A and B are shown apart, each in its own frame.
Chain A
């Protein structure tokens, strides 16, 4: 069946189900309505005290209860919701029996402060050492914490609940993790290993130490008041990203398998690109070559040229460095088109969902294709003259969109780009 293969002879990979949770809400319809209305999900933190912090706001998901609260527990709940929505939309398999592997982007896991403090109280002295903590840790009282704080625990939960096949992969490529999860699914289907893959990404890391870590790297916006105006991608007065939580999930299938079961095709993952930057742990190579190479690899993988891209869903974190480098790299690849193609950053509204961002923004990109409407970049009041993107500023824009490029760049030199299209070529 040649129609189900792309121009390189590989199985075409389509999306048949999507799910999403962000600080804007749960589900595609709620998120999309608020996103195109330009609503912000960024609020002053209430989950824990903000005294002593330079950044006091975030895009937390506070409407999903987790008790006792752990960031990993929240990540699990958010992924659970997004995956449930995606599988339900796809109508694939039977309940608890998803016919393919799980690729899960998830934040690195560690014991968190409430549990560490609990151990400290169990020691009961005020000259506590780690030897003391170890002494009270065993004996089975805290056995559930071993599971909770194992790196594979979220994937274990999801694979059990949704019945994914084989060994679920938990992965981290920092802020590109969500895109990497999708890329792994695409590759598995292209290899013919599976007809379907569940690609999910989740983030629930807004806790004191999580926030402080990014704050100490001067990565976060400190424009706390009003919080909804803090995230300013592409603006001259941008000063950092805003941490956020959320989850995105996609059911990927080979076009052939999706057609055979009469599934509704929501879009196509036409191309994936990835290229590592070896310049610095947190900064991009000043010549932009790794990002340029990543974007070019995505175009080549899709067999497309820059003029075929109708919209760029930017990484657009609103850090001074990222937005500048993203523009320089896109300009190097797209030439004059870089000033014409409408560009937007969802992070202006939902914040930076870190491990989840690549998948959250892939879902928004696919919704953009479905609705033929580009969500705005809010807080775009003072354009940065050095960034000459055609920014979809402040108000959503109707547009003819057949292909979207979605970019993700992360600490550790991680760069990934996806190209999503409406119809199989």
Chain B
């Protein structure tokens, strides 16, 4: 589309939120669970690993065709479902005119493997079956032909296009946690510059996957046996994977007003960086730099962080947070587990919800990192610090 470079950046509003997490579906269920201090943690089924399992939903309400549901694996169903909730929330579901030009930036990893195919091949190999072409023959014979489409990173976006008709543009960003930040900052920058009017951003993650756990176990990133809050994992650092879909609809203020949409909050700024983490303190310094790049911070706000619990990175983030004690901190990792690419969009969704409901949800921490906040937050900074790479922030604020 042709940009208008006329009169400074456009103001961007968050007008839709879709949440389907371990705590439930929709804003009310998540809000109530947060306020009641409820957690959904499974210490048994993936033992010794701990996960935050997805709360079951009636998929038919957002993915009406069973054929579509069958074509997806869990991570895509979670995301397609949550994206539908966001479109409903924004009041654009079924609006072909808007959906046909809506831009989509998704943060995604990859999909589930067929674990029984994997292990049966490994067991045959263990029994000495090493003939040339053995692997080829087993893969040709055993893999479900359409499984590939449930694994491809960009097919979450593809399914959202097919099921919900979001088909302006479609871009899928990868790269673990910071993919969610990059999706946000690119969609925001495009709307602010007049390159886009309205966008769907978000991601989904299925944490109930042993095939995926292998990757994080390579780096000893997974906590074991017993759940603890993100700030209280000192001797056993790491994260518990979580399942969640989180999406927001953002649009220019002018576009929202023209269609009579009500905003939850303003998305003021987003920034990301990539410290190579060669020296201690680099992450703390990078977060400090991003904080100053946000601009317009007034103090007395809140921070919703996706801190993973992985060390030394979470300690580096804690050192940053200690310098900003006038902002009340909340950790999504404690409440929802680590949802990787989805953690940042999840933070944005919770920030917009908190602003629109005039309250921050209560702390869930006994270490003193999270403290009570009594007033209504007018500014919430969402932070995403990758467990291995990537740092990002966004500023969500009240529309006064």
Q: Are A173 and B154 in contact (CB under 8 A)?
A: yes
**Is B71's CB within 8 Å of the partner chain A?**
yes
**Is B211's CB within 8 Å of the partner chain A?**
yes
Q: Are A120 and B122 in contact (CB under 8 A)?
A: yes
- B176 CB → nearest A CB, Å: 6
Q: Are B136 and A52 in contact (CB under 8 A)?
A: yes
Q: Are B171 and A173 in contact (CB under 8 A)?
A: yes
- Which one of B158, B218, B389 lies within 8 Å of A142 (CB-CB)? B218
Name which of B84-92, B188-196, B372-380 contacts chain A: B188-196
- Which one of A128, A131, A216 lies within 8 Å of B210 (CB-CB)? A131
Q: Which residues of B contact A167 (CB under 8 A)?
A: 178, 181-182, 185, 272-274, 390-392
Q: Are B214 and A133 in contact (CB under 8 A)?
A: yes
Q: Taking A150-B388, A300-B2 as contacts, is the C-beta distance between A51 and B154 under 8 angstroms?
A: no
Q: Are B110 and A412 in contact (CB under 8 A)?
A: no
- Which one of A106, A110, A145, A280 lies within 8 Å of B162 (CB-CB)? A280
**Is B97's CB within 8 Å of the partner chain A?**
no
Q: When A and B form their complex, what is the total count of cross-chain residue pairs whose Cβ atoms lie within 8 Å? A: 269
A45 to B249, CA, bound (A): 46
**Is A126's CB within 8 Å of the partner chain B?**
yes
Q: Which residues of B contact A124 (CB under 8 A)?
A: 126
What is the 8 Å Cβ interface bit string for chain B, positions 142-157, against chain A (1 contact, 0 not)? 0101111101111101
Q: Taking A128-B119, A190-B195, A413-B158 as contacts, is the C-beta distance between A276 and B215 under 8 angstroms?
A: no
Q: Are B215 and A411 in contact (CB under 8 A)?
A: no
Interface of B, helix, strand, loop or mixed by DSSP: mixed
Which chain B residue lies CB-closest to A130?
B210
Report B58-83 residues with CB < 8 Å from chain A CB. 71
**Is A217's CB within 8 Å of the partner chain B?**
yes
Q: Which residues of A contact B123 (CB under 8 A)?
A: 120, 126-128
Name which of A28-36, A153-161, A360-368, A417-425 contacts chain B: A153-161
**Is B140's CB within 8 Å of the partner chain A?**
yes
- A124 CB → nearest B CB, Å: 8
Q: Which residues of A contact B136 (CB under 8 A)?
A: 48-53, 208, 212
What is the 8 Å Cβ interface bit string for chain A, positions 123-143, against chain B (1 contact, 0 not)? 111111111011001111011
Name which of A111-119, A235-243, A312-320, A386-394 contacts chain B: A111-119
A208 to B133, CA, bound (A): 9
Report A187-229 residues with CB < 8 Å from chain B CB. 187-188, 190-193, 208-209, 212-217
Q: Can you name 29 A-B pairs with beta carbons within 8 Å? A: A51-B136, A51-B137, A53-B136, A121-B126, A123-B122, A130-B214, A138-B218, A146-B388, A150-B175, A150-B389, A152-B390, A160-B276, A166-B272, A169-B173, A170-B175, A171-B171, A173-B172, A184-B186, A188-B189, A213-B147, A214-B148, A274-B170, A276-B157, A276-B168, A281-B71, A281-B155, A410-B154, A411-B158, A412-B152
- Which A residues contact B (CB, under 8 angstroms)? 8-10, 48-54, 106, 108-111, 113, 116-117, 119-121, 123-131, 133-134, 137-140, 142-143, 145-147, 149-152, 155-156, 159-160, 166-174, 180, 184, 187-188, 190-193, 208-209, 212-217, 274-282, 290, 297, 300-301, 410-414
